[in-house]
Amino acid sequence: MADIERIALFIDGANLYATAKSLGFDIDYKRLLREFQGKGRLIRAFYYTALIEDQEYSSIRPLIDWLDYNGYAVVTKPTKEFVDSLGRRKVKGNMDIELAVDAMEMAGHIDHMVLFSGDGDFRSLVEAVQRRGVRVSVISTITTQPPMIADELRRQADEFIDLIHLVGKIGRDPGERAERMQRYQERPRTTPQAAHAEDEGE
């Protein structure tokens, strides 16, 4: 009997969110985890995102908390604010280095790396992980104009999976979301954090 494939997921949170939004659907992270647990032995599921520190309430915080409690290894760091050459305030929150370091550390313990990102900066990382004997799948989309995945990353991957083909497996049912919102509106009020966290978790 063949050994069960050891899998690790590396999710570029901002990139996956933008890709799913461009395709018109929401990710159901519980279903996403279940989908890949069914494909082998899921060693770890990393989720990377930057957070704006000084906001009293961040809309992404409930999702981060839910992921943290439900099988994901969440990696965050505060965003940095700066002023560009034209005097405009900009926010920077790049998680590429954190993802790359974790991927290289995990490479000796997995057979298959699944990268949820279209960022061309990850091409060198994918190549380095492949040199260590790990198969790499990249999930993004080419159905948008322009495509959400850089051509060099798609070429480097052992397998490219278009996110649009996973909608039925990891997408949230819009009808279920409407039902949850109706239930939420009919019940006694709770804190926004608790309500959002429950919404993400169902």
Q: Taking the model in full, what pTM does it have?
A: 0.81
Tell the residue number behind the tokens 């990139």, with chain if given: 15
Q: What pLDDT sits at residue 101?
A: 97
- The strand ranges marked E within 52-185 are 73-78, 80-83, 89-92, 112-116, 135-140, 159-162
Residue 1 lies in a domain: no
**pLDDT digit string, tens, across residues 14-31:** 999 999 999 999 999 999
Task: Output 60 or 122, whichever has higher pLDDT.
Answer: 122
Per-residue pLDDT at 86: 77
Across all residues in the chain, what is the average pLDDT?
86
| Percent of the chain at pLDDT exceeding 90 | 68
- What pLDDT does residue 27 have? 96
Q: Which of 78, 152, 143 is nearest to 121 (CA)?
A: 152
Residue 111 to residue 153: CA distance in whole angstroms: 19
DSSP state letter for 87 = S
Per-residue pLDDT tens for 86-129? Answer: 777 666 668 999 999 999 999 999 999 999 999 999 999 999 99
Q: Is residue 29 part of a domain?
A: yes
In a domain, 126, yes or no: yes
Q: How many domains does the chain have?
A: 1
Does 62 reside within a domain?
A: yes
pLDDT of residue 102: 98
Report yes or no: 114 and 11 within 8 Å, Cβ to Cβ: no
- The residue with tokens 């018109």 is 24
In three-state secondary structure terms, 60 is: coil
Measured CA to CA, the distance from residue 77 to residue 179 in angstroms comes to 34
Helix (H, G, I), strand (E, B) or coil at 202: coil
CATH number at residue 40: 3.40.50.1010
202 belongs to a structural domain? no
Q: Is 182 part of a structural domain of the chain?
A: no
State the residue range of the domain holding 92. Answer: 6-172
